[in-house]
């Protein structure tokens, strides 16, 4: 392959702090050190499909290091399942066409777990792709950490610190919902750093009675308040069992090609997912009832993804972004740039796509929390 001259770049999935720092890292290195032209595609894979671009010259890349969000815009669109005119259509061919229309030598995709899978699909469709791992959830496999996480961790920790005031002044239980549908890194990290008394995460299904018992024990020790940090996707043991059974039922039905049974299992999964959406409110009410303590719920939501990136995220995003441009210049594609200690390592996308990084039961943070008498409800 001749020296890469023109690259595309896009951001996909939920926005997070550090995306602009990463765009700047890729773009500046590509332009200054390797003499490439850099074209940004707007709104993730949708903009690539529709060929909506922004010229990322030196001017466009200046003054963006500290900006939150993404100057390119983002979406959760998938190349192979895009909503076009109300129908779900495979738009991979249109994306490949845009890539060739611009005579791109490579495409850098910044995103979380879903983006890694979509990037892998584009590699299979013949495109030269390098990815970067971003998400406040920190659940992308093969990398020590994702950019966005450190900032969100700071925001969620600060929120827990502030919630302590009301919890102690009113002798209340405050249940704080922290983002993370599938993994509990943010809740565990912020819970530990903020001194939460209870941490509920998807990887460790909880029993409300166990949580209530831990809170009652605190009351007996003279602590009349409690902070419960709960991940969006944390499930009670009962709900987790029901979900696992429904998924098993769907897999079996799919194997047997029993359409009616697959439909029924899918409906059951959707029903349980709907129940899951309100689980923080439910656990707040359950704890009030079981302990007799007044309980309140706070949902941090998108506050955790907003605003200026932390210094740690700026450093990480810049470091990985620069490495992505170097890999493109070396003609190394089909890889994600992973953070491994101080190194930025190229990992084959096959090892990343479809593999979520969950909190291991014996992770140092879990062990530390248990030593510090944090209740996980198990
Ligand atoms: O993936 C990041 C994340 O913030 C998750 O923590 C959260 O579950 C999800 O995105 C929310 O997505 P949206 O902003 O599309 O509602």
Q: Which domains does the chain have, with CATH numbers?
A: 6-147+309-351 (3.40.50.450), 152-305 (3.40.50.460)
Find where tokens 């190349």 sit. 79
Beta strand pairing status for 106-111 and 87-89?
A: unpaired
Task: Note the pLDDT tens digit of each residue in 288-299.
Answer: 999 999 999 999
Average predicted confidence (pLDDT) for the chain = 97
Task: Note the pLDDT tens digit of each residue in 341-353.
Answer: 999 999 999 999 9
Instruction: Write the CA distances from 348 to 45, 63, 114, 143, 336, integer angstroms.
Output: 21, 32, 16, 12, 6
Alpha-carbon span 376 to 199, nearest angstrom: 5
Alpha-carbon span 298 to 69, nearest angstrom: 23
Task: Note the pLDDT tens digit of each residue in 154-180.
Answer: 999 999 999 999 999 999 999 999 999
Buried b (16+ CB within 10 A) or exposed e, 87-123: eeeebbebbbebbeebebbbbbbbbbbbbbbbbbbbb
Does the pLDDT value for residue 1 go beyond 90? no
Q: What is the pLDDT of residue 276?
A: 86
For residue 260, what pLDDT band results from cuts at 50, 70 and 90?
A: very high
Question: Out of 43, 137, 139, 197, which one is annotated catalytic?
Answer: 137
What residue's CA is closest to ligand 1, atom 16? 14
CB count within 10 Å of CB 244 equals 12
Does the pLDDT value for residue 248 go beyond 70? yes
Does the pLDDT value for residue 91 go beyond 90? yes
Higher model confidence: residue 276 or residue 13?
13
Of ligand 1's listed atoms, the one at least distance from the Cα of 232 is 8
All residues at 6 or more sequence positions from 154 whose CB lies less than 8 Å from its CB, including other chains: 310
Judge contact between 203 and 173, C-beta under 8 A. Answer: no
Distance 187 CA to ligand 1 centre (A): 14
Alpha-carbon span 176 to 338, nearest angstrom: 31
Q: Average pLDDT of 256-270?
A: 94
Taking the C-alpha atoms of 178, 180, 185 and 189 in order, what is their torsion angle to the nearest 10 degrees? -10
Distance 301 CA to ligand 1 centre (A): 8
Q: Is 197 a catalytic residue?
A: no
Pocket around ligand 1: residues whose beta carbon is below 6 Å from it? 14, 76, 112, 135-137, 179-181, 232, 305
Task: Note the pLDDT tens digit of each residue in 181-228.
Answer: 999 999 999 999 999 999 999 999 999 999 999 999 999 999 999 999
**What is the token pair recorded at 242?**
């029901």
Task: Note the pLDDT tens digit of each residue in 92-131.
Answer: 999 999 999 999 999 999 999 999 999 999 999 999 999 9
> Taking Cα atoms as reference points, which of 132, 223, 184 lies closest to residue 356?
184
Q: What's this model's pTM, rounded to 2 decimal places?
A: 0.96
Of ligand 1's listed atoms, the one at least distance from the Cα of 186 is 6
Q: Average pLDDT of 245-256?
A: 95
Substitution site in 179, 232, 307 for ligand 1 pocket (most atoms within 8 Å of beta carbon)? 179
> Taking Cα atoms as reference points, which of 182, 177, 181 lies closest to residue 230?
177
Distance 121 CA to ligand 1 centre (A): 22
């Amino acid at each position: 392959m001749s020296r890469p001259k023109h690259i595309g770049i896009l951001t996909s999935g939920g926005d997070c702090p550090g995306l602009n720092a990463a765009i700047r890292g890729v773009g500046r290195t590509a332009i200054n050190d390797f003499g490439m032209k850099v074209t940004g595609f707007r709104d993730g894979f949708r903009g690539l499909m529709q060929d909506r671009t922004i010229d990322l010259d030196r001017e466009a890349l200046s003054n963006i290091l500290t900006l939150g969000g993404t100057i390119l815009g983002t979406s959760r669109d998938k190349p192979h399942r895009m909503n076009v005119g109300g129908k779900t259509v495979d738009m991979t061919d249109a994306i490949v066409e845009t890539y060739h229309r611009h005579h791109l030598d490579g495409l850098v995709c910044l995103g979380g777990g879903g983006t890694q899978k979509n990037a892998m699909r584009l590699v299979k469709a013949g495109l030269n792709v390098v990815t970067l791992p971003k998400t406040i959830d920190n659940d992308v496999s093969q990398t020590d950490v994702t950019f966005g996480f450190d900032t969100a961790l700071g925001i969620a920790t600060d929120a827990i610190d502030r919630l302590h005031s009301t919890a102690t002044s009113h002798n209340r239980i405050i249940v704080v919902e922290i983002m993370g549908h599938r993994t509990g890194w943010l809740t565990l990290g912020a819970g530990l750093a903020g001194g939460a008394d209870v941490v509920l995460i998807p990887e460790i299904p909880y029993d409300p009675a166990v949580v209530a018992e831990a809170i009652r024990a605190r009351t007996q020790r003279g602590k009349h308040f409690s902070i419960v940090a709960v991940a969006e996707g944390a499930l009670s043991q009962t709900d987790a069992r029901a979900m696992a059974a429904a998924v098993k039922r769907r897999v079996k039905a799919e194997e047997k090609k029993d359409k009616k049974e697959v439909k029924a299992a899918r409906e059951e999964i959707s029903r349980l997912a709907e129940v899951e959406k309100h689980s923080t409110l439910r656990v707040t009410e359950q704890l009030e009832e079981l302990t007799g303590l007044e309980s309140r719920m706070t949902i941090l939501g998108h506050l955790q993804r907003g605003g200026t990136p932390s210094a740690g995220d700026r450093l990480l995003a810049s470091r990985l972004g620069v490495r992505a441009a170097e890999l493109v210049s070396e003609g190394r594609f089909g890889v994600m740039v992973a953070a491994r200690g101080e190194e930025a390592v190229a990992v084959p996308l096959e090892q990343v796509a479809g593999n979520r990084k969950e909190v291991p039961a014996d992770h140092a943070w879990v062990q530390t929390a248990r030593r510090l008498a944090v209740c996980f409800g198990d």
